[in-house]
Amino acid sequence: MDEFSFINSIKQHTYKQPSVVKGIGDDAAVFRQPYRDIITAVDTFVEDVHFARTTMAPFHIGFRSVAANVSDLAAMGATPAFYLVSMIIPKTWPPDELDEIYKGMKKMASRHHMDLIGGDTVSGPVLSVSVTVIGYANMNRARYRSTSNEQDIVFATGYLGDSRAGFHMLTTPGSYENELYFYDRHRKPLPRVDFAVGLSNLKRVTLNDISDGIANEAAEIAEASKVDIVLYDEQIPISAPLGQFSPKQQYEWKLFGGEDFELVGTVPEYDWGHVKEIAQQTNTPLKRVGVVERSKNPGQHNVFIVDRNNHKKPLEKKGYTHLADKDKKE
């Protein structure tokens, strides 16, 4: 299939979002917008970095690449509306597998009534999928990492470490329980859009999505808000079947595993009841996992973990790094 018939094959013939003026078919897309804030983000997925032929089928590559981006919209409290897809495709990729990637993207996108309004297609050495998402929030209701205050409650949605466990099962031969549950958590994450958008009546709530482990995402909040964050080891939510792994694996995966696309956030104590209500209404598992504190050293904003013996220690910033850290010894 040539580039043009490929584009034709992925083009939507109707659009769900009424604001579309021009979708696929010109030099760029156009949508019209009164009185709302527009939120946009892009994340890229590369073969053998974010997925491998052994960990994901083409359908999953599509599903997950859109899901991870929708998760960034959720972390902003935004309602998803559009996506654009830039693909680098090896000449060896069979067309029916490309089709499957788009089916996966469409499956995730249609959960949130999103329209595909553009993209780009080129050939290259490895498969790379770059998705740009666009969403809306009511004016001044986008959620930032920088709005935490001391005494806020720290919370997390869902169960952490499952995606890392799924990756382990897909790449390390062995006998495991609940394999399908963990595969799905790795390959078909479901971002917490309903919960995040449900919080839109709150004046102040801080959100960040967990693409790279709660330790790193909490550190981003601490830094942006100029506060310390204290997490309680025993409160970090894990699923029952994660219990089949060693305590060391559970600890590493729930804190540093990443790719769960859950949310971590903070909210003033007086709004905690409301947050719990929205979690219930949106079927979102929700756990209080810590507290925000004033930074001990001005200029240093850290995350601490309190263990079951009430021992508090700094939590390392450890996750997946794409570029080598020049300051770190190998």
Q: Tell which phi-psi region holds residue 151, choosing left (phi > 0), alpha (psi between -120 and 50) or beta.
A: left
For residue 88, the cross-strand partners are 122, 128
Does the annotation list 307 as a binding residue?
A: no
In order, the DSSP letters of 190-211 are: ---HHHHHHGGG-S--EEEE-S
Interface residue with ligand ATP among 147, 148, 178, 211 (CB under 6 A) is 211
Residue among 152 and 212 whose Cβ is closer to ligand TPS: 212
Residue among 23 and 62 whose Cβ is closer to ligand ATP: 62
- Binding to ligand ATP (CB under 6 A) within 35-54 occurs at 43
Measured distance CA(217)–CA(319) in Å, rounded: 10
Residue among 62 and 191 whose Cβ is closer to ligand ATP: 191
* x/- track of binding to Mg ion for residues 159-198 (CB under 5 A): ----------------------------------------
Cβ–Cβ < 8 Å for 303, 229 = yes
SS3 state of residue 250: helix
Measured distance CA(271)–CA(259) in Å, rounded: 28
Partner interacting with residue 185 (select from ligand ATP, Mg ion, ligand TPS, none; CB below 5-8 Å by kind) = none
Q: Based on the shown chain and the rule CB under 6 A, indicate whether residue 168 belongs to the binding site for ligand TPS.
A: no
Measured distance CA(67)–CA(185) in Å, rounded: 12
Q: Based on the shown chain and the rule CB under 6 A, indicate whether residue 212 belongs to the binding site for ligand ATP.
A: yes
Does the annotation list 209 as a binding residue?
A: yes
- Binding to ligand TPS (CB under 6 A) within 302-321 occurs at 320
Which structure tokens are listed for 244?
């089949």
Q: Based on the shown chain and the rule CB under 6 A, indicate whether residue 128 belongs to the binding site for ligand ATP.
A: no
Measured distance CA(96)–CA(106) in Å, rounded: 15
Residue among 10 and 127 whose Cβ is closer to ligand ATP: 127
Say if strands 79-89 and 115-123 run parallel, antiparallel, or are unpaired: parallel
Residue among 20 and 154 whose Cβ is closer to ligand ATP: 154
CB of 131 to ligand TPS, least distance (A): 12
- Binding to ligand TPS (CB under 6 A) within 193-212 occurs at 211-212
Measured distance CA(29)–CA(24) in Å, rounded: 6
Does the annotation list 96 as a binding residue?
A: no
- Binding to Mg ion (CB under 5 A) within 72-111 occurs at 72
Q: Where are the beta strands (DSSP E) in the chain?
A: 20-22, 30-31, 36-46, 79-89, 115-123, 128-138, 153-157, 206-209, 228-232, 263-267, 286-293, 303-306, 312-314
SS3 state of residue 258: coil
CB of 71 to ligand ATP, least distance (A): 7
Q: Based on the shown chain and the rule CB under 6 A, indicate whether residue 55 belongs to the binding site for ligand TPS.
A: yes
Q: Based on the shown chain and the rule CB under 6 A, indicate whether residue 260 belongs to the binding site for ligand ATP.
A: no
By C-alpha distance, which of 11, 12, 82 is closest to 40?
Answer: 82
Does the annotation list 120 as a binding residue?
A: yes
CB of 30 to Mg ion, least distance (A): 26
Does the annotation list 184 as a binding residue?
A: no
Q: Where are the beta strands (DSSP E) in 160-253?
A: 206-209, 228-232
Residue among 132 and 152 whose Cβ is closer to ligand TPS: 132
Residue among 133 and 305 whose Cβ is closer to ligand ATP: 133
* Residues that bind ligand TPS in the complex, under the rule CB under 6 A: 43, 48-52, 55, 167, 211-212, 258-259, 320
* Residues that bind Mg ion in the complex, under the rule CB under 5 A: 43, 72, 209, 211
* Residues that bind ligand ATP in the complex, under the rule CB under 6 A: 43, 72, 211-212
